[in-house]
Structures are given as C-alpha cells and as structure tokens.
C-alpha cells in the first residue's frame, strides 16, 4: 500500500476536540500512515501523540501551525518535522501564547459590551491548558444560544470587522519561518486560498514566503474543490514550491472533513515529503 499522508490537523492542545491519542487512533482507522499534528501555536500535544503513534505504527511528524503577520494580514504557517525542544521555537511560541491570552481577554471585553458576559471564565474552564482560539469563543456563543453555528459566530461576532474582532500582531512572517527552518523543519503556507487575497497579493506573498525560506504550500486541504486544487497547484508550479496535503481536521462533528480524506496531489507537483 502506498503511504497515506495528512500533514495538518488539530487536537485538544488547541482547537481540536480529540485528545492526541484519540486523534492518532482515528488516523489509524482512516489508514493514514504519516501524520503531522499541527496545533495552533503549541507543541503541547506532540509527546502524547508520539506515544500513541509508536503503539499504532503511524509515523508522526512533530508539527505546528504558527500564527504570523505579514503586511497587516494574518497567515498560518505550518511547520513539519520541527524540533519542539529547539529554544528559539520554544520561546517564540511562548510569546504567541501570551498574545493569545491577551487577545482572549480583549475579545471577552468586547463581547461583554454586547451583553455577553462570562465568556473567558467559561472557556478557561473547558479549555484547561489548551491554546485559546476563536473556535473556543464560537463554541461558547453556540452553547449559550447567541448564535446557531460556529459559522454564525464568526459572521456576527468574531470575524474580521465584526464587533468582537481583535486585531493582533502575531510573529512576523520571516521570524515564524526562521523558527521552523532553524529547528530543522519545513515551512508550509497553510490553505493559501483562505486569506481572501487577490491573485496579485497571493503572488506577492508567495514570492516573499519563498525568499524567507518557505518551501511548500498546501495544494490539497480537506475542503479543497477541484478548482481550488487547480489554482493552488498552479501557484506551486509558478513559484517552484513543493506541494503539501493536509485535512485541517478539528472534530468528528464536522462531517465534511476527515483525517486522511484528501484528493491526490496533481502528478507533476513535487510532494513536500520528498524533502523529509
């Protein structure tokens, strides 16, 4: 059997709903053979995932999804094959974790102004030590019947320009890439079509990303249409970037996205795993 790759997914360490062990077991059920756990701005789930992977025979690549800023835009940079113990990366993500907490406090204040109180306290209780993300706020808003779905929570409160949106300077793109690369990892631009950038902005971004040491882009995600794959593959070709595949799985509750359920990379795109 050929290897089955999924190089982007989340656990309870950030905004996923499965523990690292449950995630690995689910990946096994779906015949994934090489998985990268890429929680938002944390590597806290990797040790447990590695143990479970050893038991199930899955190859786990230590990974992360870093929040980065570039020209006032927020981007997500996946690092695979990183060294979670590398000091520059560790101290970098500590800074991001502080920013996440400060942002969460501000989001809660903005919600309070809309008469939605107690969000942060409730989230801290359920999230425990997990990275607090907007997904947690979305789930809180759904649970307390302020909205009917996660999507509505983003559309009405949490999305850019909405009443509880808080803009944040994450790590500079170049810095985020350097943490990944200097720790021995490969930097991948996550979901390139999800930033609402025009084609000319995406091209500027891809040029800058490559100059800064980025090596790959996600060509196939769990929600890519054929058209998305066609467009992303063209970007990979035009900028001589490797192609990655990752479901961005968060929860079994989202039936549209499953671990390992991914279209194949177009045949002429060099897979990122040739560099491993």
- Measuring CA to CA, which residue among 118, 116, 66 is closest to residue 90? 66
Beta carbon of residue 110, minimum distance to ligand AMP (angstroms, whole number): 14
Footprint on this chain of ligand AMP (rule: CB under 6 A): 15, 40, 67, 133-135, 150-151, 154, 250
Question: Phi and psi of 217, rounded to 5°?
Answer: -130, 155
234 half-sphere exposure, CB direction, 13 A CA radius = 9
User: Measured from the CB atom, is 93 or 269 closer to ligand AMP?
Assistant: 93
**Residues 148 to 207 in contact with Mn ion, rule: CB under 5 A:** 190
- CB-based burial, 60-84: b 16+ in 10 Å, e otherwise: bbbbbbbbbbbeeeebbbbbbbbbb
The stretch among 75-83, 176-184, 233-241, 268-276 that binds Mn ion (CB under 5 A) is: 75-83
Count of positions on this chain that bind Mn ion (CB under 5 A): 5
User: Measured from the CB atom, is 135 or 269 closer to ligand AMP?
Assistant: 135
Q: What is the DSSP letter of 9?
A: B
Beta carbon of residue 37, minimum distance to Mn ion (angstroms, whole number): 11
Q: Which residue is nearest to ligand AMP (CB)?
A: 133
CA distance 202 to 183: 26
254 half-sphere exposure, CB direction, 13 A CA radius = 21
Question: Phi and psi of 32, rounded to 5°?
Answer: -70, 135
Q: What is the DSSP letter of 37?
A: E
Q: Does 248 bind Mn ion (CB under 5 A)?
A: yes
Site string for Mn ion, 15-54 (x = CB under 5 A): x---------------------------------------
Alpha-helical runs (H) found in the chain:
20-29, 46-56, 87-113, 119-127, 134-143, 150-153, 173-182, 199-211, 226-238
Exactly one of 28, 76, 134, 210 binds Mn ion (CB under 5 A); that residue is 76
Q: By three-state DSSP, how is residue 104 classified? A: helix
Beta carbon of residue 268, minimum distance to Mn ion (angstroms, whole number): 26
User: Measured from the CB atom, is 26 or 40 closer to ligand AMP?
Assistant: 40
6 binds, among Mn ion, ligand AMP, none (CB under 5 to 8 A by kind): none
Beta carbon of residue 3, minimum distance to ligand AMP (angstroms, whole number): 26
User: Measured from the CB atom, is 10 or 26 closer to ligand AMP?
Assistant: 10
| Site residues (vs Mn ion, CB under 5 A) | 15, 65, 76, 190, 248
């Amino acid at each position: 059997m050929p290897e089955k790759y999924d190089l982007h997914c989340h656990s309870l360490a950030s905004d996923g709903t499965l523990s690292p062990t449950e995630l690995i077991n689910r990946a096994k059920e779906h015949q994934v053979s090489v998985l990268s756990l890429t929680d938002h701005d944390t590597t806290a789930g990797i040790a447990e995932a590695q143990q479970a992977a050893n038991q199930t025979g899955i190859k786990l690549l230590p990974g992360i999804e870093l929040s980065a800023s570039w020209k006032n835009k927020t981007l997500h940079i996946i690092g695979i094959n990183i060294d979670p113990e590398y000091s520059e990366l560790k101290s970098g993500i500590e800074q991001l974790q502080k920013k996440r907490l400060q942002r969460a406090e501000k989001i809660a204040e903005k919600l309070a102004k809309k008469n939605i109180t107690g969000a942060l306290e409730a989230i801290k209780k359920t999230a425990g030590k997990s990275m607090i993300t907007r997904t947690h706020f979305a789930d809180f808003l759904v649970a307390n019947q302020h909205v009917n779905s996660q999507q509505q929570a983003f559309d009405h409160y949490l999305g850019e320009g909405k009443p509880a949106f808080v803009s944040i300077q994450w790590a500079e793109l170049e810095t985020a890439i350097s943490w990944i690369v200097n720790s021995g990892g490969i930097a991948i631009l996550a979901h390139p079509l999800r930033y609402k950038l025009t084609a000319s902005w995406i091209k500027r971004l891809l040029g800058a990303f490559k100059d800064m040491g980025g090596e790959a882009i996600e060509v196939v995600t769990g929600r890519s249409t054929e058209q998305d794959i066609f467009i992303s593959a063209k970007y990979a070709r035009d900028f001589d970037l490797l192609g990655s595949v990752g479901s961005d799985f968060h929860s079994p509750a989202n039936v549209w996205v499953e671990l390992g359920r991914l279209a194949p990379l177009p045949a002429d795109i060099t897979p990122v795993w040739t560099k491993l």
